[in-house]
């Protein structure tokens, strides 16, 4: 890895992230090597995540304390899903496509996957309204 790339990886420290993202990282014991990627996903997805949050009924929003908690949970979900997807894509063969077509196809699949992470968490919050155990699980992550 180049010296410049090392500096980029080291530049994101836990204490520089939002309090909610820090709590999710600590709760889930996310390795420090993923902080930079997680921070990038967190920043890049904010608008889409905000739209999903705003579309939730107030009763689902009330499972968490605020948007930032939802955003942190979505960011973690998207990060892990993205890693899994990229690892699986390495083994795929696209013999009937040009490199550009294959790249476009992968990008489309990744976009859908990341959007589904947002939808899935929104769905879980809606379910948690009726399931006290799920509600407790969500709140436990952010206990101080």
Per residue in 92-122, pLDDT (tens digit) is: 888 888 889 988 999 999 999 999 999 999 9
The pLDDT value given to residue 9: 46
List helix spans (H) across the chain.
3-11, 19-28, 35-44, 46-55, 58-61, 67-89, 99-128, 132-141
Is residue 143 scored above 50 in pLDDT? yes
- Average pLDDT (71-97) is 91
The pLDDT value given to residue 94: 80
Angle between helical axes of 46-55 and 67-89 (0-180°, round to 10): 120
The pLDDT value given to residue 95: 82
Say how far residue 40 (Cα) sits from the centre of its chain. Answer: 10
Per residue in 2-52, pLDDT (tens digit) is 444 444 445 788 899 999 999 999 999 999 999 999 999 999 999 999 999
The pLDDT value given to residue 47: 95
Beta-carbon-side half-sphere exposure of residue 67 (alpha carbons within 13 Å):
13
Dist. CA 26–CA 83, nearest whole Å: 19
Is residue 142 scored above 60 in pLDDT? yes
């Amino acid at each position: 890895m180049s010296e410049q790339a090392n500096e980029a990886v080291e530049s994101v420290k836990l204490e520089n992230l939002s309090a909610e993202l820090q709590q999710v990282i600590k709760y889930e014991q996310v390795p420090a090597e993923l902080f930079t990627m997680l921070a990038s996903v967190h920043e890049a997805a904010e608008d889409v995540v905000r739209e999903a949050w705003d579309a939730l009924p107030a009763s689902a929003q009330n499972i968490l304390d605020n948007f930032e908690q939802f955003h942190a949970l979505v960011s973690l979900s998207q990060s892990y899903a993205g890693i899994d997807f990229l690892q699986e894509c390495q083994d795929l063969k696209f013999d009937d496509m040009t490199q550009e077509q294959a790249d476009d196809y992968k990008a489309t699949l990744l976009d859908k996957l990341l959007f589904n992470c947002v939808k899935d968490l929104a769905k879980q919050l809606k379910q948690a309204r009726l399931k006290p155990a799920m509600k407790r699980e969500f709140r436990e992550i952010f206990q101080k």
